[in-house]
Amino acid sequence: SRREPTEVTPVWSMRQAGRYMPAYRKLRQRHSILDLCHQPDLAAAVTLQPVERLGVDAAILFADILLPFEPLRLGLSFAAGEGPKIARPIENATDVERLPSFNLQAELGYVFDAVRLARRSLPADVPLIGFAGAPFTLASYAIEGGASRTFTKTKRFMYQSPDTWHLLLSKLADLVGRYLAEQGRAGAQALQLFDSWVGCLSPHDYHTYVQPHSTRALQLAAGAGVPLIHFGTGTATFLEDFAAAGGDVISVDWRIPLDAAWSRIGPKAIQGNLEPAALLAPAAERNRQVRDILKRAGGRPGHIFNLGHGILPETDVAAVRAVVDLVHDT
C-alpha cells in the first residue's frame, strides 16, 4: 500500500475465513456467526485459520460489516443460509433522526479486543487488516432490511428524501470513520472500507449521493495513521471518483482489466482482481487468469493480489492455496 518494492507479490483474499474452510465450519457447529464475532478469543482464532492453512501474507479480522447495527438498535440477525436480516429497517426521517449515538468502546469494544488478541497471536510479519462497511453499503442493508438485488427501497429513499439520505450517510460516515480509526489504534495495520454494492449506482449518483460520505469516512479513518484500502465492486464506470474519494489502495473487481484500472486511479496502490468463480475452474484456466493479472501488474510496486470479491462458499481450499502459491512463485 505504500508502493514499496517487494520480493514477491503479496496476496490475501477477501472472505478467506468462512464456510468453504472445514476448520471454520467445525467452529460454526457450536457457535452462531454473531457468537464468533462477540467472543474475541473465537474471532481471533478464526482470523488465524486462513493464515495457517493458506500461507497468505495478511490476515483480515473476523467480524462483520453489520455489527454496528446492534448498538444502532436496528435488530441484526443472521438466518441460516439466508444472510443478514434487519428487524427494524430505516424507513423515514424520524428513524434517521432518532438513530442513537453510542460509545464505541462500550458497544463495540469486543471488536477492538479481538484486534488486540489477533495481533498478539499472529506471526510478526503478517499484518492484520481491520475493516468496516462504507456508508452506502451499510445504508442499503439498513433500508432494505437485508440483502437486495435491485436496491429499490434504497434508491427510492435517496431520490425522494435527499436531505434525509445525506443525514443518514453522514451519520454512518462519522460512525465508521471513528470505528476504523479505533481498530487502527487497537493494532490493525491496515483498514479496509467495504463498499460492496455501490456499483448499482450511476456515475452521477455515486458522485452526488455517496462520494462525499466515503471521503469523510476515510478522512476520519486516516487518523489512525495506517494505510487505507477502499474496496468496491462494479466501480469501473466511475473509478476516477471512487479513487478520488480516498484510500491508499484501490480494490477493483474482475469486470475491468487490472492495468486499465491502475491507469485510471492515479498514484495509488491497487488490490485485486481475480474473478472469485475462477477458483471453481480447472487448474489450467485458473492459472491462466492468475498469470494474466500478474502480467498486467507488470511487477510494478504497489500491487496486492486478491480476488475481486469474496471467496465463494463452494470453493475448494486447495484451489485457494494453489493461487497463493502461484502468485508467490511467479
141 among known catalytic residues: yes
Cell of 209: 449521493
Catalytic residue among 20, 53, 119, 141: 141
Q: Is 181 in the site for ligand CP3 (CB under 6 A)?
A: no
Q: Is 147 in the site for ligand CP3 (CB under 6 A)?
A: yes
Q: Which of 10, 11, 18, 222 binds ligand CP3 (CB under 6 A)?
A: 18
Q: Which of 54, 60, 198, 236 binds ligand CP3 (CB under 6 A)?
A: 60
Q: Is 78 in the site for ligand CP3 (CB under 6 A)?
A: yes
Catalytic residue among 3, 64, 205, 321: 64
State the DSSP string of 252-284.
--TTS-HHHHHTTS-SSEEEEEE-GGGGGS-HH
28 among known catalytic residues: yes
- Give me the least distance between CB of 148 and ligand CP3, in Å please: 10
15 among known catalytic residues: yes
Q: Which of 28, 31, 85, 153 binds ligand CP3 (CB under 6 A)?
A: 28
- Give me the least distance between CB of 24 and ligand CP3, in Å please: 7
Q: Which of 273, 310, 324, 327 binds ligand CP3 (CB under 6 A)?
A: 310
Q: Is 16 in the site for ligand CP3 (CB under 6 A)?
A: yes
Catalytic residue among 15, 53, 119, 216: 15
Cell of 298: 507488470
- Long-range own/partner contacts, residues 253-260 (CB < 8 A, 24 or more apart): 253/199, 253/308, 253/309, 254/278, 254/308, 255/308, 257/296, 258/293, 258/296, 258/297, 258/303, 259/296, 259/297, 259/298
Q: Which of 66, 64, 45, 53 is nearest to 12 (CA)?
A: 53
Q: What sections of the chain are H helices per DSSP?
A: 22-30, 33-38, 40-54, 93-97, 104-121, 135-144, 152-160, 162-186, 203-205, 211-221, 239-244, 258-262, 283-297, 317-329
Q: Which of 11, 14, 90, 128 binds ligand CP3 (CB under 6 A)?
A: 14
Question: In the complex, which residues of this chain contact ligand CP3 (CB under 6 A)?
Answer: 14-19, 28, 33, 60, 62, 64-66, 78, 83-84, 131, 147, 194, 196, 310
Active site residue ranges: 15, 19, 28, 64, 141
